[in-house]
Homo-oligomer: A and B are copies of this chain.
C-alpha cells in the first residue's frame, strides 16, 4: 500500500493486477481507479481485530514464514484440512498433547504444494498482496518456488524493518484495536503505553469469560473478576459494578468498544429480580441451557445501559456454531476452523434491547452477521430506522470481494451508506491487514463507480462517500 506501485502499470514482475476488483466496463473501471487513488493511501483505522498486543510491546521478530502465515491462520489451515491434510501436519498446536509438526519449512512446503486450493479465495489475494507489497516477492507460490520463497521471507523477518512496530508504521496504521478478556491484566498494553512508542494500540472489552454461564470456568472467573475489581461479584449489583469498573480500566487503555459473540442475537430485558436469580443460578453452575441463553441475552441490554454511561460502542457478532467437530475440539481445542455460520434471526431477538434503549442518541450498537440473508430482510431495515443501530462490514466468511459487494447491494438501498461503519479487518494475521483494507477500498470504489455510471450517484458524491467509508465513518462510529 505504501510502496506506491499499485497504480503503476503491471510489469512482468508483478503478481498483482493494478485494476483488480474493478468493474469490467471501461467507464466504471476508469472511475473506480480514480476513486481508489484518492483513498488508497489513507491511514488504516482498524477498530476491531485480534492481533497480539505483545507483538507491539516486545517488538520481537516474527519467527518464520509458517508461523507467520499458516499455523495461526484458520482461513489457511481449514482449507488444507478440507482436502485431507491433518491439522497436526500443519503444526496446529494441540490440546491433547499429541504430536504436531514443528518443522516450519516442511509446513510451508505442504502449503505451497497445495496452493492451487486457494484459487479465487481471499486468502490467496491477501497472501499475494502481502508477499508483493510487504516482502517484495512476486512469484507464484508452488512446490517449485516453495523453498526460495521460504528463504526470502525468512531472511526478511530477520531484518529490523520487518519487526512489528516497523511494519505497523509502514502499514500506515493510525490506530488498531485488540480484543481482551476482563480477566486480562492488559500488561502488554501497559508496556506499549510506557514504551513511549507513538503507535496507537487500544484494547476492546470482550467479557465472554465472565458473562457467559456456559464459558469454561465461569464461576471461578467471576470470583477472579471480583478480586481484580474490588467488587463483591457474588451479588448482582457487585457483579454489575465490576463490569463498570473494568470497562473504565479498559477505557484507560484506549478502549472505545465492547464486543459480544453469542451463538444467537438474542437479547432480553429482564426484571432486576429475574436477572439476579439467573445470575445466582449461573454462579452455582445450575443454569439450564435456556437460562444461560436468557442471561447472556439480558447482559447485552445491561452492557447497552452501561454504554449510555461510559460511551463504549457495543458490537454484536452473533451466529457462529463454534467448534462444530467434537473430535477436533477434543484433539486441538477451540477455534480451529470448525466454526460454522447458522441462520440468525435479528427481528425478534433484538426487540427487548431495542425497546429498552433503541431510540437513545448517545448509544451506538454495531451489528454483524454470518447469515447474509438477514442483510436485506432484517438488518438494513432495522439499521435504517433505529437510531442506535449501525451495520458492521461483511464479516468472516463474507470478508471477500463477492461478500463485500453483496453487502453493499443488499443494504445500501434501505440503510444508505451512513448507517454503516467502514471496514473491520477482524484478523490476527498481521501481515494481511493492508491487504484486507485494500480489498475493501477497491470493492467499495468499484461499487461507487457503478452507481455513478448507472446514474444513481453524482461523481462528486462518490469521492466523498469513498473517503467516508474508508476513514471518516470508521472513526466516527467507533469514536476513535
A interface list, Cβ under 8 A from B: 16-17, 19-25, 27-28, 78-79, 81-84, 116-122, 125, 140, 321, 324-328, 337-343, 345, 347-348, 351, 354-355, 358-359, 361, 370-373, 376-378, 380-387, 389, 397-398, 400-403, 409-410, 412-419, 450-451, 453-458, 461, 464-465
Contacts and interface: CB of A to CB of B under 8 A. Distances in A.
Contacts of A382: 340
Nearest to A140: B458
Contact of A16 (B372, B415, B455): B455
Nearest to A446: B454
B389 A82 contact: yes
A417 to B, nearest CB: 6
Given A20-B454, A378-B342, A453-B24, A403 B413 contact: yes
A354 B409 CA distance: 34
A475 B403 CA distance: 31
Contacts of A340: 347, 378, 381-382, 385
B341 A120 contact: no
B342 A325 contact: no
Nearest to A405: B409
Contact of A83 (B78, B387, B450): B387
A13 to B, nearest CB: 14
Chain A to chain B: the 8 pairs with minimum beta-carbon distance, closest first: A20-B455, A17-B455, A24-B25, A400-B413, A78-B385, A84-B387, A84-B361, A341-B377
A409 B415 CA distance: 23
Contacts of A121: 412-414, 416
24 contacts: A16-B455, A19-B455, A20-B454, A20-B456, A22-B454, A24-B28, A120-B413, A120-B451, A120-B456, A121-B414, A125-B456, A325-B355, A327-B359, A340-B381, A341-B378, A341-B381, A342-B348, A343-B345, A377-B397, A380-B397, A397-B413, A397-B414, A401-B456, A402-B412
